[in-house]
Amino acid sequence: MFRTYPRDFWRISASMFFFILSFNLILPEMNAYITLLGGQTWKGSIIFLFSIAAGLSRPFAGKLADLIGRKKSIYIGILISLIICLSYPFFEFLGIFLLLRFLHGLSAGFAPTGATALVTDILPSDRKGAAMGLWGTFISLGIGVGQALGSYIFAISNFEILFYCAGFFSLCAFLFVIPIKETLPSPLRFKFAHLRVKWQDVFEPSVRNAAAIMLFTAISSGVIFVLSPDLSTYFNIENKGYFFGIYVLSTIIMRLAFSSISDRIGRKETLVIGCTVLVLSMSLLALSEGMMSYTLAAVFFGLATGISSPTLFAWTADLSPSKRRGSGAGTLFLALELGILVGSGLTVFIYKNTLQSAQNCIWVATFFALIAVVLLVKDINKTKQGVLNRGSVSSHNDPSK
């Protein structure tokens, strides 16, 4: 398996594992930390502000990745993450903490966008679905290991050590990028004019269908990011990263076992399966009353992500013009951030620090996941109808008939 893909694929995958791990490491304890700062009513803003910044930076990241190079976009993101992680312990004030959360989100706009464009450049076209499954496994590992490890580190230390550990993992991400070869032919020198963003830099129209599905499914992630630490508390689970620990085991099994399924049966058909499992997972989560049902919901959430995430990235790679892969990846990530933004925003208005209000948030997210299923089914039927119509016209015009 290791020889199937170039060394740089494994290097960038390892880099993104450590990068994703670094900012997920602190998430399970952020609700407790903001409460310590006197901001218990601002829990939703932890993800909300992060997602706003990530979304705003995506167009710049995509444009720069297509102009000055994939690696430079990655470097910008990782360096921001490193600086912010090391800054958290020095500013124990609510207002400054919220500002740092916003600035931290910029890192998530730059690094994954440049990395995805780079990965797309080096992957064989006939194995994109399988490769994106492996790529997504590293990202899922970063989320799951970060969430589970964060609570453990905090249990044996304190917030300061937790933040410094996050900074260390950002540094690891940086080191893995250094030996990677730049894949953009003839990258330009940076000019401030490159920061002028037009609508075409914000949105790549060729990937709009994939972006729409990403948006509606990511709302569930936004809700879970905010609520899972408190849900663990409601169900008397000591490790606040428990949900994501179970999720990552499930999604890794799914990605490794069925990573090439979309190469065989089609991207949209695979996404219907993934989104349907997501609806099931969120429904189970909304109905959970204890550890067993909560665990089962996490398992299904991992299965859903393991099916849908690599398929969305492979579909985006299929749809993106070769010279617009950075913008295509940026558009998909922008949809991801918007979905997380909507999901975390829902918690600001609906979640009242009770289990019932948390379940209400989850039901709303489930509705949006169901919309994704409906859109995919309509798109598949429309495509099939178009094929039938073309076949009918071809048969009608055939003089031999």
Selection from 275, 351, 294 nearest residue 45 by Cα: 351
**Within 13 A of 272's CA, how many CA atoms are on the CB side?**
12
Residue 300 or 191, more confident = 300
337 or 89: which leads in pLDDT: 89
The secondary structure of residue 194, as a DSSP letter, is G
Tokens coding 262:
């979309």
377 burial type by CB count under 10 A (0-12 exposed, 13-18 middle, 19+ buried): middle
pLDDT-above-70 percentage for the chain: 93
For residue 143, the number of C-alpha atoms closer than 13 Å in the C-beta half-sphere is: 21
Instruction: Answer whether 116's CB lies under 8 Å from 333's CB.
Output: yes
Residue 209 has pLDDT above 80, yes or no: yes
Cα separation, 74 vs 177, whole angstroms: 8
Q: What is the mean pLDDT of residues 247-256?
A: 80
Q: Indicate if the pLDDT at residue 394 is higher than 60.
A: no
Supply the pLDDT for residue 395.
54
- Taking each helix axis as running N to C, give the angle between helix 7-24 and helix 128-156, from 0 to 180 degrees, rounded to the nearest 10: 40
**Average pLDDT of 180-201?**
82
What span, in angstroms and rounded, lies between the C-alpha atoms of 379 and 385?
Answer: 10
Q: Which amino acid is at 202?
A: V
Q: State yes or no: pLDDT of 390 exceeds 70.
A: no
Mean pLDDT within 142-150: 84
Opening angle at CA 379, ends 136 and 202, nearest 5:
60
The DSSP H or E segment spanning 269 is helix 267-287
* Nearest Cα to Cα of residue 189 among 79, 69, 74: 69
The pLDDT value recorded for residue 145 is 86
pLDDT for the residue numbered 252: 80
φ, ψ (nearest 5 deg) of residue 399: -65, -15
pLDDT, average across residues 31-43: 86
Q: Can you give the pLDDT at residue 58?
A: 80
Cβ atoms within 10 Å of 99's Cβ, excluding its own: 15
Residue 155 has pLDDT above 60, yes or no: yes
Q: How confident is the model at residue 383 (pLDDT cuts 50, 70, 90)?
A: confident
Across 36-40, 152-156, 276-280, 288-292, which has the greatest mean pLDDT? 276-280
Q: Which domains, ranges and CATH numbers included, belong to the chain?
A: 11-181+202-386 (1.20.1250.20)
Residue 136 in this model has a pLDDT that exceeds 60: yes
pLDDT greater than 70 at residue 397: no
Q: What are phi and psi of 241, to 5 degrees?
A: -95, 15
Whole-number Å distance between alpha carbons of 40 and 133: 37
Extract the tokens encoding 254. Answer: 């799914």
At 339 the pLDDT is 92
Distances (CA, A) of 178 to 8, 30, 151: 10, 31, 30
Tokens of 348: 């600001």
Q: What is the pLDDT of residues 21-30, one digit of tens each?
A: 998 999 888 8
- The residue with tokens 């401030």 is 192
pLDDT of 396 higher than 60: no
Which is more confident, 195 or 110? 110
User: Which of 173-182, 221-230, 345-354 ranks highest by mean pLDDT?
Assistant: 173-182
Q: Based on DSSP, count helices (H) and strands (E) in the chain, helices before strands.
A: 15, 0
Given pLDDT bands bounded at 50, 70 and 90, which one contains residue 179? very high
Largest CA distance in the chain: 81
Closest CA to 257 of 303, 300, 211: 303
Yes or no: say if 223 and 344 are a contact pair by the CB < 8 Å rule.
yes
Q: Is the pLDDT of residue 327 over 80?
A: no
52 Cβ contact partners less than 8 Å away, ≥ 6 residues apart: 102, 105, 337, 341
Q: Give whichever of 82-86, 180-184, 301-305, 309-313 has the largest mean pLDDT.
A: 82-86
Read off the tokens for 351: 């979640």
Res 128: pLDDT: 66
- Given a cut of 60, whether residue 393 has pLDDT beyond it is no
Pairwise pLDDT comparison (395 vs 338), residue with the higher score: 338
Q: What percentage of the chain has pLDDT greater than the value 90?
A: 42
- pLDDT band for position 15 (cuts 50, 70, 90): very high
